[in-house]
Amino acid sequence: MPNKGSMVGLEIFFKFSRAMFLVAIFLMGVSKLDAQTTFEVDYVPPETSVNDTLYLTGSFNNWNPSDKNYAFKRQADGTYKLSNKQFLNSWISYKITRGSWETVEVQKDGQPLKVRKLSFNQIGPQTETLQVAGWTDKLNTAAEKKWLTIEVVDIPLNTPPNTSLYICGNFNGWVPGDERYKLKPVGNGNYEIVIPVYDERLEYKFTRGNWSTVEGNSYGRPRPNRIIELSEVNPNQVVEDTISYWEDQSYGIFNPYTLLLVLTALQGFFLIFIINSNQNNNKWANQALSVLIFVISFTLIARVVIYDRVIYTNYPKLSLLTDLVFFLYGPTLLIYIKRLLHHAKKAIWDYWPHYIPFLLQCIIYVSFFFKPTHTFIEQNLFQSMDSPPYSVYEVIVVLALVFNVWYWFRIRGIIRNYFKNIEHTYSTDQNIRYLNAILIILGICLVLWTVIILVDVYGTFTEQPVNTLTNFLIDGIWIVFSVVVFFLGYFAIKQPQIFRMAEQEEEEAPEAEKPQMESEELEELKQALHKIMTEDQVYLNPELSLPDLADRMNSNVHTLSRTINSGFNKNFRDFVNHYRIEDFIERAQDEKYKNQTFLAIALAVGFNSKSSFNRSFKKVTNKSPREYFNDLEQASS
């Protein structure tokens, strides 16, 4: 049965879980409140005929340019209205046509108009007022353009049969299902298209008619835009491209990467229950550890959820949940380390100053929550730093890195100091070397984080595409980060005693503040110590600590520590192990122990590992156990 400490730990865990769940619900709620919208066109070019019908085409109707369900009605005052349309998604992309792609709207100078976007973030019906600057068939000759031939020489083997391939880019305003730019088969499995180019840089992608079927990288990841600089291409040259993957035909949300993250998160939730179910556990440390593991597991699940393009497209603000780890992990890990090593018993909320950056982050993110969904996606994480909307997020990312580096060095100092002074408190090695491994794992994450920022800066100032490398490094961080939970899970099974550590002594006062012991008092304590060690044989307890021994002698850790240091000129561990080695030597020469190995005898006299025993034996005798007994045999023969 779980003890009282475990119940308190689980209570804190469930309260934190409920809070995070409410945050998730809030984020999803503000992403899509109502999608009933009226579109009104209050200006069209003078050359528009009164007999023309205007249509709304977009992501909601597979870019059908003449969908009668989305036909505007001309009003008496010359405006056009499309009333009370309900959309399933949280945002749409769209354009206005006069019934075909040859009559789609363009800019006033004939240049392609980038797709319009609209998010549904407000409660109740909304009206979107639009103006049309020009029509393609009316202004087509006004725009200067060049032509470029692109040939696709290879497509993925899992491409659905009889599918249509499209190209979209800055030449058509990024419409993914524009019938004017459907590739034509030219034999041998190749496809070809001739496209206009209005600028010196052509950016484009291939699709199968919509953004859910766009080309991607392995595991269904988005790929960066294809880029061609016209100055580097011969006008008569045919540009050859290869399509490697389709996003929807790849692994998608179910792939080795996301599977690893999901398994890690599930193990984390299971581990929380395990460590809070241990009897006589260090409840204070394990409460903090439970929160720490939950933060990791929760953010891993959030990472997996937004990996799916459909979910991310409709609820992109869920990606903010992964950022909870930015300013939560460092302080919570520090609290865990302090509670584990020094048994600090302050409640987590007593450390509230450490969480001020997290609270400020939450306040800033409130403004992100209410951004239009399509704007939020366009201003997504780890994008170019030269765009003002990104600057706030980029500052948060950089500050979070500095914040976590500072906590990493602070925690490293606490752990190093603990190991430096551990021999003054414990008689055997403690099974907490895993903390160094965790620091190494987190250090790798911080290095990768730094590289990501440097790559981002490089891409900004050089205008080189770095999205692929950035995404690869981000995935790498999450994989390395997930190792922490697997590592803790391994030790929870192999060495469960790390969750039930005995309390350490309180920090000793500086030497100048310690009162000097009288020689008579010192001698009495030395004799009492020797008696309890030889008669009661307390050293046989492998978990014997200075506080334990002080309790047995009705003394305190400070007095006892000074007695051992001054009276025996040893630290606590060497003092206890001296008696263990003497007992070991005596037993090893006793006939009734002749069938036991050295290790078995060492464990019987209080050592907890072979390495600890060998190290102590050589420190006492200046010889290894084998050398010592070989010399004894030679001396007696």
pTM of the model: 0.70
Work out the average pLDDT over 540-550: 83
Question: Residues of the chain with pLDDT > 90: what percent?
Answer: 22
Q: Establish if 514 belongs to a structural domain.
A: no
DSSP assignments along 244-255, one per residue: -EEGGGS-TTSS
> Has residue 17 got a pLDDT over 70?
no
Regarding whether 469 and 402 lie in a shared domain, the answer is yes
Q: Establish if 509 belongs to a structural domain.
A: no
Residue 18, amino acid: R
Q: Establish if 510 belongs to a structural domain.
A: no
> Has residue 465 got a pLDDT over 60?
yes
> Has residue 389 got a pLDDT over 50?
no
Regarding whether 173 and 41 lie in a shared domain, the answer is no
What pLDDT shows up at residue 508?
44
Regarding whether 609 and 486 lie in a shared domain, the answer is no
For Cα atoms 505, 508, 511, give the angle at the middle one, nearest 5 degrees: 155
Q: What is the pLDDT of residues 139-153, one digit of tens each?
A: 655 446 688 999 999
Query: Where residue 482 falls among pLDDT bands split at 50, 70, 90?
Result: confident
Write the CATH number for 111: 2.60.40.10
Write the CATH number for 322: 1.20.1070.10
Query: Where residue 8 falls among pLDDT bands split at 50, 70, 90?
Result: very low
Query: Where residue 39 falls among pLDDT bands split at 50, 70, 90?
Result: very high
Regarding whether 152 and 111 lie in a shared domain, the answer is no
Q: Establish if 515 belongs to a structural domain.
A: no
Residue with tokens 């003394």: 555
> Has residue 282 got a pLDDT over 80?
no
What is the separation, in whole angstroms, between the first and last Cα of the chain? 59
Residue 597, both tokens: 């190995």
Query: Where residue 383 falls among pLDDT bands split at 50, 70, 90?
Result: very low
Q: Which of 100, 119, 139 is the last residue of a domain?
A: 139
Residue with tokens 């981000």: 474
What pLDDT shows up at residue 510?
43
Tell me which of 108-112, 251-255, 555-559, 573-577 is least confident: 251-255
Regarding whether 335 and 459 lie in a shared domain, the answer is yes
Question: Residues of the chain with pLDDT > 70: what percent?
Answer: 81
Work out the average pLDDT over 12-16: 48
Tell me which of 30-34, 124-128, 432-436, 544-548 is least confident: 30-34
Cβ neighbours around 236 below 10 Å, total: 6
More confident residue, 441 or 427: 441
Q: Which of 123, 139, 155 is the last residue of a domain?
A: 139
Work out the average pLDDT over 18-31: 50
Regarding whether 441 and 334 lie in a shared domain, the answer is yes
What pLDDT shows up at residue 53?
95
> Has residue 365 got a pLDDT over 70?
yes
**Measured between alpha carbons, how far is 528 from 12 in angstroms, rounded to an integer?**
45
Q: How far is CA 529 from CA 102, 516, 526, in A?
A: 98, 19, 5
What pLDDT shows up at residue 38?
92
Q: Which of 426, 397, 412 is nearest to 548 (CA)?
A: 426
Q: What is the pLDDT of residues 73-103, one digit of tens each?
A: 999 999 999 998 888 778 889 999 999 998 9
Q: How far is CA 512 from CA 49, 497, 509, 516, 607, in A?
A: 98, 37, 8, 10, 35
Work out the average pLDDT over 468-495: 78
Q: Which of 249, 273, 292 is the last residue of a domain?
A: 249
- Give the count of alpha carbons within 13 A of 284, CB side only: 18
- Give the count of alpha carbons within 13 A of 461, CB side only: 5
Q: Can you name the residues that pair with 182 across neighbouring β-strands?
A: 166
Work out the average pLDDT over 242-264: 80
**Measured between alpha carbons, how far is 616 from 156 in angstroms, rounded to an integer?**
65
**Measured between alpha carbons, how far is 287 from 336 in angstroms, rounded to an integer?**
8
Most confident of 160-174, 375-389, 468-482: 160-174
Q: Where are the alpha helices (DSSP H) in 508-624?
A: 519-534, 546-552, 557-562, 572-588, 598-604, 610-621
Residue 427, both tokens: 């008689």
Structural domain boundaries, residue 94: 36-139
| Mean pLDDT, the chain, whole residue set | 80
Regarding whether 89 and 152 lie in a shared domain, the answer is no
What pLDDT shows up at residue 259?
84
**Measured between alpha carbons, how far is 291 from 16 in angstroms, rounded to an integer?**
7
Regarding whether 383 and 272 lie in a shared domain, the answer is yes
Most confident of 41-45, 200-204, 425-429: 41-45
CB 119 within 8 A of CB 314: no
In sequence order, what are the residues at sequence separation of 6 or more whose Cβ sits closer than 8 angstroms to the Cβ of residue 444? 480
What pLDDT shows up at residue 2?
45
Q: Establish if 425 belongs to a structural domain.
A: yes
Query: Where residue 168 falls among pLDDT bands split at 50, 70, 90?
Result: very high
Regarding whether 271 and 223 lie in a shared domain, the answer is no
Burial 616-631 (b: 16+ CB within 10 A, else e): bbeebeeeebeebeee
Regarding whether 275 and 371 lie in a shared domain, the answer is yes
> Has residue 306 got a pLDDT over 90?
no
Q: Establish if 512 belongs to a structural domain.
A: no
Q: Establish if 186 belongs to a structural domain.
A: yes
Length of the chain: 637
Q: Establish if 130 belongs to a structural domain.
A: yes
Regarding whether 245 and 194 lie in a shared domain, the answer is yes
Q: What is the pLDDT of residues 172-228, one digit of tens each?
A: 889 998 999 999 999 888 999 999 888 888 899 999 998 888 998 776 677 888 988
Helix (H, G, I), strand (E, B) or coil at 587: helix
Write the CATH number for 546: 1.10.10.60
Regarding whether 284 and 241 lie in a shared domain, the answer is no
Work out the average pLDDT over 300-315: 79
Query: Where residue 387 falls among pLDDT bands split at 50, 70, 90?
Result: very low
What pLDDT shows up at residue 430?
62
Number of domains forming the structure of the chain: 4
Quick one: three-class SS letters along 437-463? HHHHHHHHHHHHHHHHHHHHHHHHHHC
